[in-house]
Amino acid sequence: MTTDRRTALADTAIDVLARDGMRGLTHRAVDRAAAFPPGTTSAYFRTRQALLTALVRRLADRDQAELQEAGRAAGRPRTVAELTAGLTAFTARRLTGEGRLRTLARYACAVESVRHPELREILTPRDNAARSAVRDFLAAHGAREPEERTNTLLACVDGLVFDRLVSGGAVAETEIEALVAAALSPAGTP
């Protein structure tokens, strides 16, 4: 756990939300999960909304850092197979281990942002090395409107992650390959 108490509490809140859902996200639950004395979380985040906002900011920061690193580590995909493999690996990270917990928390926060628009601004996808790699790949391979196609492709990948999070299983490489083919096709469909 990080030494910064606010960050540690926000990280713990992500885990509590993933494990117990939005109704289970309380100051007391975060105190217990973080093994901090009662009242610690409320001392740092006076209201539940302040706690939720801190959680969403931390979640967005962690996601952004992961995507920056993934984009740098993987480099620029040169072939459809490389892009497909990279996106398939991304879905696997989002559906297993710590990535699964963050994915559960992310979707809970996305639903909550309907009632709290200030959260939506924090959750809005930002440019990062991974998104740039996809956009650059589509542009280099002749996709019309690569920015729009990137948004659509990544939204479809996100939809597959959501489906498998709820129904179980993994995202198949053939599913990602079909989405990449659709993004590259002249009409946007295979």
pLDDT of the residue at 17: 98
* Domains defined along the chain, listed by start: 58-184 (1.10.357.10)
Q: Are 175 and 182 in contact (CB under 8 A)?
A: no
Q: Which tokens sit at 37?
A: 């004395």
Q: Does residue 86 carry a pLDDT above 80?
A: yes
> Phi and psi for 38 in degrees, rounded to 5?
-55, 135
- Supply the pLDDT for residue 36: 96
- pTM attached to this predicted model: 0.87
